[in-house]
Chains A and B, each alone.
Chain A
Amino acid sequence: MDNNYILTLKNITKEFPGVKALDDVTINIERGTIHGLVGENGAGKSTLIKVLAGIYQPNKGEIILDGKPCRFNSPIEARRAGISVVHQEIKLAEPLSVAENMFLGNVQLKNGLVDWKGMRRRAWEIVEDLGMDIDINAQVSSLTVAKKQIVEIMHAINNNSRILIMDEPSAVLTDRELEVMFRIVKQLRDKGITIIYISHRLDEIFGLCSNVSVLRDGCHIDTIPVASVDRQGLINMMVGREMGQEYPKEVGNVGGTILEVKNLSRGILQDISFEVKSGEVFGISGLVGAGRTELARAILGIDKPESGEVYVRGKKVHYRTFADAIRDGLGLIPEDRKLQGLVQIMSVKRNTTLVNMKRVLRAGVISSSLEEKLSKEYADKLHVVTPSMETEVQYLSGGNQQKVVIAKWLFQNSEILFLDEPTRGIDVGAKAEIYRLINRMAKEGKTIIMISSEMPELLGMCDRIMVMHEGHKMGELNAAEATQEKIMALCS
């Protein structure tokens, strides 16, 4: 047995009825390293994690931990063996304190009673050790998303984990919060904890990991040192073909000013002014909490502006509800695709037509055949991969779900479309498709206002970028002059 490897997955196969989610996967993971795991949605990453975490049991193959074959029949067994998972979605008990959350499922007893004092001391030690500024007595619901994520990590390592699996921990963090998390991840590695790091953001893989394993369609493609591959090469391994450009920016059909915001204030938003032309892709950059989503909401009639004016096509508008804004040709692809973007238990067909049902009415009555035909047209146009138009969207992958959200607003034929974090948690292949859709909409003269925490995406896709910080507009950059450094300089 090679003692270099803390964990070996040997010929792991996991089948579901009709699908081989993992096909003969063999991966070695070196002790005390950060090991990247990449692949498109549906490549088998989640299944692999679930096998390691004891949620699924493999049909074939074995897990060798520290040279000993083991079998985890439940998540508890995996945790006892020292494998912890920080899941993509934060799973904390919100009304409880930080310290209480760190000991969830692991309550310490003293003389048969809960040892609060001891647990608080231990929690405080962990927080101090990581150099974090978190009050262990604070209620978790009062923390920012980034801090909640860190509480998750602390919960995991408090379990004396030897292997920490992190499933897209960065999806909800801003760049600055990411730095803190990277520092923590590196600290943990230096303490001898082995980390398996899953991310769609390849920068992180290159910045953090020493080795990376690529999965595609349930198969292990390769495990290589990150130093031996470049970004494009890694993408090609993931998708199994030449990807072409990551940001296929094309110039849209730019016309006159279509949206003008003057001195808008509301809540944290202070005196925001900007103009957008039709056919333009206008980016809004800034950290989470900079007021980007709030700005979209105030323009779209979801929240009432306290002062300031909004002009659409030169006309001053006062949207009293979001429905007013929709009727006037505006639309919003909201940041939370699962909760806000789609009715998960409704079919692809019904989600597509939900905003603009008028198009499928005949004499006031829904025409099933018309609805089927029209929604299918849009699904085809957007390459939505779905078994049928009747499939509930909850069964689609993240990328395909986002395409259905876009289809819904294309179906409504909105002229001015706000996209709030349109590619969050979506794999590279689907991302590129969404970028091409943005191009196409701009070509058709539609106006795109893109809110994103991913700077490369804004730099790659936008004509102009407005930078916000704590509710203020800090500046505006043209695509030609914008760089990541310039944006960072503006938003801090």
Chain B
Amino acid sequence: MSTKATTLNSKKSVGALVKDWMSLVGIAILIVVFSIISYVKFGAQYFLTWSNWKNILLQSSTVAIVALGQSIMLLTGNFDLSLGRMVCLTSCVGAILMKNVGMSTGLAILIMFAIGLAVGAVNGFMVSYVGVPAMIATLGTQYICYGLAKLLTQAVPIANMPDSISFLGRDYIFGGVFPVCVLLMIIVYAIAQFVTSKTRVGRNLYAVGGSREAAFFSGINVKAYQFGTFLLGSVLATFGGLVLMSRLNSVAVTNGQNYEFDAVIGSIIGGVSLAGGKGRVIGTMFGCIFLNTLFNGFSQMGVDPFVQDVLKGVVLVLAVTLDVASNKKKS
């Protein structure tokens, strides 16, 4: 109704801005709350220190890199449950090749990416060309990846990664204070944010997520775009796996466990709509940092680590409720 539309204000209200940048607002609130608690409880500031924040960012970096792929898939109306186990499989294969086979690091990394891409291609093919629901297709590959990783390693952790990859996860730059992997996270997000907001490819991704049919009738190759996002997701998962094996300096079948769900939670807190077609990918990075800030703060407070999963669930449900409620209000 045109009369109704004219009453909608085109300028963004404060409320809308807060909703758009929910993750940043959340981080700010956590900082204030935890710094005060730290001061009250310990009489000194342990929370708002660079060494603590280095930790938060370090822990966020690998999951955030994987979450980027997930949030781009969410943008196009898909998701990938196999991402976490892809992290696991590719890093296990990498470790075996580097450590047990003695292959050169470069070639081993190449093979890691080839395996990741193969899994992504299977997911993408099944979902976009065959029409298997994303949930089923990627649940299947999730088990395949996990099973293969256990088979190959016999579930025995592999420690001490080659020095040639240590810079990815364990080195610091800018005078030895800033972790390389955090910089890597920022770089991939900066590129992704630019591409999704400023290029034709990015706009088409939003169109595909907004309405596959309308995108198709605008001449966009919807299937290729969907396929592409699965490939991208697998590349980022492999990259995340590589950084993770370097950061932990070891590989185990638990690597990357639940990353796909943490990625969804991070994306939604970051403002990417579950329904597709809306949100900014950069928000996902802040969403992942928000989660790690929350857990870091609670550990400092001495909260039982097992409570963390409960909290994660609460945060997810709250974020989705907000997302759904705000969409409902509009329509």
Please give the residue numbers on chain A whose beta carbons come within 8 Å of chain B beta carbons, in ascending order.
16-19, 21, 41-42, 46, 217-218, 321-323, 326, 332, 334, 336, 339-346, 350, 354-355, 357-358, 361, 364-366, 385-388, 390-391, 394-397, 400, 408
Q: List the A side residues contacting B10 at CB < 8 Å.
A: 387-388, 390-391
Bound together, the chains give a CA A344 to CA B276 distance in angstroms of: 12
Q: Is the interface of A mostly helix, strand, loop or mixed?
A: loop
Q: Which of A326, A345, A361 contacts B278 (CB 8 A)?
A: A345
Q: Which of A365, A391, A408 contacts B218 (CB 8 A)?
A: A408
Q: Which of B1, B8, B221 contacts A41 (CB 8 A)?
A: B1
Q: List the A side residues contacting B2 at CB < 8 Å.
A: 41-42, 385, 396-397, 400
Q: List the B side residues contacting A396 at CB < 8 Å.
A: 2, 5
User: B7 at the A/B interface (Cβ < 8 Å)?
Assistant: yes
Contact B200 A366 (CB under 8 A): yes
Within 8 A of A (CB), among B195-215: 197-200, 203, 206-207, 210-211, 213-215
A387 and B8 in contact (CB under 8 A), knowing A350-B203, A396-B2?
yes
A391 and B5 in contact (CB under 8 A), knowing A343-B210, A346-B206?
yes
Can you identify 11 A-B contacts, CB atoms within 8 angstroms? A16-B7, A322-B217, A339-B214, A343-B210, A344-B211, A350-B206, A355-B218, A366-B199, A366-B203, A397-B2, A397-B5
Contact A340 B200 (CB under 8 A): no
Bound together, the chains give a CA A383 to CA B10 distance in angstroms of: 18
Bound together, the chains give a CA A394 to CA B4 distance in angstroms of: 11
Residues 206-234 of chain B: 1 if any A CB is under 8 Å from the residue's CB, otherwise 0?
A: 11001101111111110000000000000
Q: List the B side residues contacting A41 at CB < 8 Å.
A: 1-2
Q: List the A side residues contacting B278 at CB < 8 Å.
A: 345
Using A16-B4, A321-B221, A397-B1 as known contacts, list a sample of 16 further A-B pairs with CB atoms less than 8 Å apart, ordered by residue number in A: A19-B3, A42-B2, A42-B4, A336-B213, A340-B217, A341-B217, A343-B210, A345-B278, A346-B207, A366-B203, A385-B2, A386-B5, A387-B5, A387-B8, A387-B10, A390-B10
Most chain A Cβ neighbours within 10 Å, of B10, B210, B218, B220: B218
Contact A21 B218 (CB under 8 A): no
Contact B219 A42 (CB under 8 A): no
User: B51 at the A/B interface (Cβ < 8 Å)?
Assistant: no
Q: List the B side residues contacting A323 at CB < 8 Å.
A: 219-221
Q: Kindly provide the distance from the CB of A85 to the nearest chain B CB, expressed in whole angstroms.
A: 18
Those 6 A-B pairs whose CB atoms lie nearest each other, nearest first? A388-B10, A343-B210, A18-B7, A323-B219, A326-B219, A395-B5
User: B169 at the A/B interface (Cβ < 8 Å)?
Assistant: no
Interface size on B, residues (CB 8 A): 31
Which residue of chain B is the closest to A21 with respect to CB atoms?
A: B3
Which residue of chain B is the closest to A17 with respect to CB atoms?
A: B7
Contact A42 B331 (CB under 8 A): no
Q: Which of A344, A357, A366, A395 contacts B4 (CB 8 A)?
A: A395
Bound together, the chains give a CA A334 to CA B206 distance in angstroms of: 20
Which residue of chain B is the closest to A334 with respect to CB atoms?
A: B217
Bound together, the chains give a CA A339 to CA B331 distance in angstroms of: 16
User: B6 at the A/B interface (Cβ < 8 Å)?
Assistant: yes
Bound together, the chains give a CA A136 to CA B183 distance in angstroms of: 65
A42 and B203 in contact (CB under 8 A), knowing A343-B210, A343-B277?
no
Which residue of chain B is the closest to A357 with respect to CB atoms?
A: B200
Q: Kindly provide the distance from the CB of B35 to the nearest chain A CB, expressed in whole angstroms.
A: 38
Q: List the A side residues contacting B206 at CB < 8 Å.
A: 343, 346, 350
A42 and B3 in contact (CB under 8 A), knowing A364-B199, A366-B199, A394-B331?
yes
Bound together, the chains give a CA A344 to CA B207 distance in angstroms of: 10
Bound together, the chains give a CA A386 to CA B1 distance in angstroms of: 10
Bound together, the chains give a CA A340 to CA B217 distance in angstroms of: 6
Bound together, the chains give a CA A341 to CA B7 distance in angstroms of: 25
Most chain B Cβ neighbours within 10 Å, of A323, A340, A354, A355: A354
Which residue of chain B is the closest to A397 with respect to CB atoms?
A: B2
Most chain B Cβ neighbours within 10 Å, of A42, A350, A395: A395
Q: List the B side residues contacting A218 at CB < 8 Å.
A: 3
